[in-house]
Chain A
Amino acid sequence: MDEARVIPLHGRENGDRPARRSAPRRGTTPKAEASIHPLHNSDTDSEAADLPATPVSAVPAWDRRIADGLAFLRRRLAGDYAIDDFGFDPDLTENVIIPLLKPLYDQWFRVEVNGVENLPTDGGALLVANHAGGLWALDSAMTAVAVHDHTGDGDEPGRYLRMLGADLLFTAPGIGTLARKAGATLACNPDAERLLRGGELVGVWPEGYKGIGKPFRDRYQLQRFGRGGFVHAALRTGAPIIPVSIVGSEEIHPVLANVKTLARVLNLPYFPLTPTFPWLGPLGLVPLPSKWYIEFGEPIHTSPYGAESADDPVVLFDITDRVRETIQSTLYRLLVQRRSVWR
C-alpha cells in the first residue's frame, strides 16, 4: 500500500460493530410463526384436523436420524441418486460433506457472517472472495457452508455455492472427485457462464495460487486478480457480482517460506513451509483455530453494462478494480474491528 487511502473503519451504522453481530438465520422467524396455530377457529378447523396429533418435535429425533441415515445408505449403495452435468451430487453434499464441515465451521473457526441479505434467494450471482490458506483452501469450503446455512428457509435446504477451482485440483486423485461432487468445477469461462445462466451461485477466488501460497507477511494484501475472466463471465450473463471478504482464513497456515525448487520437482505451484508443516507430518495439516468473519458485500450489478461490454477491456478492468477495492477495504475494516486473531 504505497498511497494513503481513507478506509471507513466503522460500518454503516455509527459505532456499531457489524462484524460482531451474527446475522439472524432466515429459517428461525418463519418457524416461530408457524408454531402459533389458532386452536379454536371454526374457519380453520378442517385444516387443523389435518395436522398431526403430535407436533413434529415429539417424534424422537434419533429415530428419524437413523431412518434418514439408512435411506441415505440404501440410495448410495444402489446408485439411486441424481447428479447434474457438472458432477454435483446434492445428496452427498447435503448429507455428508456439509455435516462434516459444520463442526469445523461452528466450533473450530466460529465463523461469523455479515451481509447475508446481499445473497440472492434465487437467480445467478458471482461471489468473488479473497483466497488464502497456505495448505488447504478452506475458505472456499467455509464460504460454501455459510451460503448454505444462511439461504435455507425452514426445512428447505439452503443454496449451494458452485465453486470454480484450478485444474490442479481436478488432477489430484480423491480430492478432485470429491470437489466435483461437492459442486466445484473447473475455473474457465464456459463453465462459469453455464452455471450463471443456470441461475446458480458461483464462487470464484481470483487470486488463485498466488493467494493461497502468499507469505504470511502479505496476509490480507490482495494479490493480482487474474485477467478479469470472472467479470467477463458475469457481464456475459448479466449476473451480479457479490464481493466476499473473509477474515481469519489467512492465519490458519502461516506460510513462512516457499521452497521453490521442491515445488518445481513436485510440479506444484508452490511448496509452503509453515510453523507446523512439514515438520509435524500429517499433524501439520491441522489448521490453526483462528476466528473467522465472512462478509457478503453489496452486489455490483453488471446487467446495466450489457453483454456486449464483456469484450470492452476498459469496462472489464474497471469492474475488476471495483471488486478488488471493495474486498480490500472491507478486509481492512474487519481487521481493525476484530479483537484478536483467535477470539
Chain B
Amino acid sequence: MSSVVLITGVSRYLGARLAALLAADSSIERVIGVDATALYQADLLHLGRTEYVRADIRNPLIAKVLAQARVDTVVHAAMGTIRGAGGRAPTKDLNLVGTMQLLAACQRSESVSRVVVKSTTAVYGSGPRDPAAFTEEMAAAGQPRGGYARDAVEVEDYVRGFMRRRPDIAVSILRFASLIGPTIDSPLTRYLAMPIVPTSLGFDPRLQLLHESDAVEVLRLATIDNHPGVYNVAGDGVVYLSQAVRRAGRFRLPVPAAAISLVGGIVRNSGVIEFSAEQASFLNFGRVVDTSRLRAEFGYTPRLSTEQALRSYLDGRSATDEVA
C-alpha cells in the first residue's frame, strides 16, 4: 500500500494532474510534489494537500527529502518534451542529470519500494526500416538522433542500470505515445494549432495518440500498485497526419525534406515547437507501437482511441475558441 508519494515535474501537466488525483485519494498519506520551476498560485489550489517542494532534482537535496518523508513511491514525470526558456542544453541537462540524481537518491533510500518513470515511444526512433508496430522488446532501427528522443533513451539506460542495482524495487517504465487532449500543452497540440501546418512533401506519417486522461490514469495505476516492467501506452488505432490536419480544419504546407530543417529553424526560433532532427524524421515516417502488453499484463485499456483522442482535442479547442 503506497502512502508517501513523491512526484517530480509537478509543474507540468501530467505531474500536476497526478498529484491532484492522489491528493484526493484518502488512502495516500502524503503527496510531495517537486519541481525546479515555481508553481502558479492557481496550480497550487488544484493540487489540494500536495506538499510542494521547490527543488532542482539535480541537487542532492532530493535525497534528504526522500529520507525525511520516508517516501515509498517515486514518480519521475519530469522528463520534458518542450524545452524551457534556456534552450536545448539546459533541458538535456535537467533530463539526464536530474534522472541520475533522483535514481542515486532512490538507490540509497531504504524506504523507496516503487519507482515509476514516464518515458516516451520516441525511444523507438522513426524511420523507413521500422516495423509497422514496435513491441517493448524492440530497439530503435537506428539510434534516435538528438533531441528529446535521445534523452529518453539515455534516461531509460540509467533506469535499467538502477534496476540491476536495486532488484528489490519495482520499476515501471511507461512509454507514452504523442499526448493530446483539450487541456494539455504538448508538441503535437502546438503543432496542430498552427494555422498552416508544415508537413514533409511526399510523406505522411502514421500517428498514434494518447489522450491526456488515459496518460494520467496509467500513471496513477502504476503509482498505487506494483506494475514492474516496460509498457507502451497508446490509444487504439492510427491516423495519418494528413487526416489529422484535415479533421482539424487546417491546411497543410508540404515542404521538401531538404527544406524541412530550414522551416524547422524558423519554427524553432518563433518558439512554437521544438523541431529536432528526430522530429523531422518523425514527420516523415511516424511511429506506431503495440499495446498488447499494457492490456494483458498491466491490465489497462485506454478509454479513448487515437481517433477519439483527436476528436476530444478538437472539440476542446473549438470550445476555447468560442470563449475567446
Show the binding face of A for B, using Cβ within 8 Å.
76-87, 89, 167-168, 170-174, 176-177, 180-181, 185-186, 188, 190-191, 194
Contact = CB atoms under 8 A, between A and B. Distances in A.
Contact of A79 (B132, B201, B247, B285): B247
The 5 closest A-B pairs by CB, nearest first: A173-B202, A79-B246, A79-B243, A170-B128, A174-B202
Interface of B: 128-133, 135, 138, 200-204, 206, 237-240, 242-247, 257, 285, 288, 307
25 contacts: A79-B239, A79-B242, A79-B245, A80-B247, A82-B237, A85-B133, A85-B206, A85-B288, A86-B132, A87-B238, A167-B129, A168-B128, A170-B128, A171-B128, A172-B202, A173-B202, A173-B257, A177-B202, A177-B203, A180-B206, A186-B129, A186-B130, A190-B132, A190-B138, A194-B133
A71 B316 CA distance: 27
A78 B311 CA distance: 13
A134 to B, nearest CB: 23
Contacts of B288: 85
Contacts of B201: 173
A79 B244 contact: yes
A89 to B, nearest CB: 8
Contacts, number: 73
Contact of A78 (B138, B200, B247): B247
Contacts of A86: 132
Contacts of B133: 85, 190, 194
B284 to A, nearest CB: 8
Contact of A81 (B128, B131, B243, B245): B243
B43 to A, nearest CB: 35
B243 A83 contact: yes
Given A83-B240, A173-B202, A176-B203, A77 B246 contact: yes
Given A170-B128, A194-B132, A83 B238 contact: yes
Nearest to B285: A170
Given A77-B246, A84-B238, A87-B238, A190 B135 contact: yes
B246 A78 contact: yes
A156 B310 CA distance: 31
Given A79-B243, A79-B245, 18 more contacts: A77-B246, A79-B244, A83-B206, A83-B239, A83-B240, A85-B238, A167-B129, A170-B128, A172-B202, A176-B128, A177-B202, A181-B204, A186-B129, A186-B130, A186-B131, A188-B129, A190-B131, A194-B133
